[in-house]
Structure 1
Amino acid sequence: MSRPPARPLPQLSVRIDLDGDERIGPGKIELLESIREHGSISAAGRAMDMSYKRAWDLVDEINRICRHPAVAPQTGGKNGGGAMLTPFGAGLVARYRRIERNAARAVRKELLALKTDIGRPRKS
């Protein structure tokens, strides 16, 4: 008789609430990483199954929230321009990922305990 597959460790998701309804979270950071990888907002949006308008609106929101541009247009090339992360944007991604790693490390024991509790059969 085979055992059921082990449940993976629950994952921590970090959302940073700034002022009011201004937030930086995993979706915005993933979009910035996708822009860095693909070199354009539209390609990044497509890679994330997101419309260009939604991707552009999120970039605009990130730039507004941070009061510094995280993404800058890139001109030229045979296919026209694109977009790239600014040094501020690259730093924002790096800092968010550090916060995420540090938070996950800080709660690892609790996540393991949660996994154990979730995996226990219910008492009747």
Structure 2
Amino acid sequence: MMTVFSSLARRQEGFAAVETILALPIVLAMALGTLSSGSLLLTKSQLNRAVSEAAQYASANPQRSDAQIREIVLDSYHGSDALAATAIDVSRGGAPGDARYIEVEAKVRTRLPTVLFRAPGITLVSRKKAFIG
């Protein structure tokens, strides 16, 4: 009778290893997904801040050229390799007598940092309108 229980005890020792092996890919996928999402949110936050700073600068200095406003976005954005793919548009609007505004829009094409596969690129867009006057 004792040999039956001891053989059962020996067989259950491997269950923890099997459960760990089965659960490990799921836990790793969740951890990597969290890191990828965090990286994407950081990039979007940096882009929003850069566009906001440029729009604020443009509203305080409306005589500045579009190239100077684009330079503010590029100086304020601290992205990594996505900086080369940044498209920055500056538009001005408003009729005389109406509220005039400057709108700054920036687009960044970036990739999710994945380990197991190559993710498609994602385009992040940030737009801010600042009124002059």
Question: Under a length normalisation based on structure 1, what TM-score does the superposition of the two structures give?
Answer: 0.29
Question: Under a length normalisation based on structure 2, what TM-score does the superposition of the two structures give?
Answer: 0.28
Where is the strand percentage greater, Structure 1 or Structure 2?
2
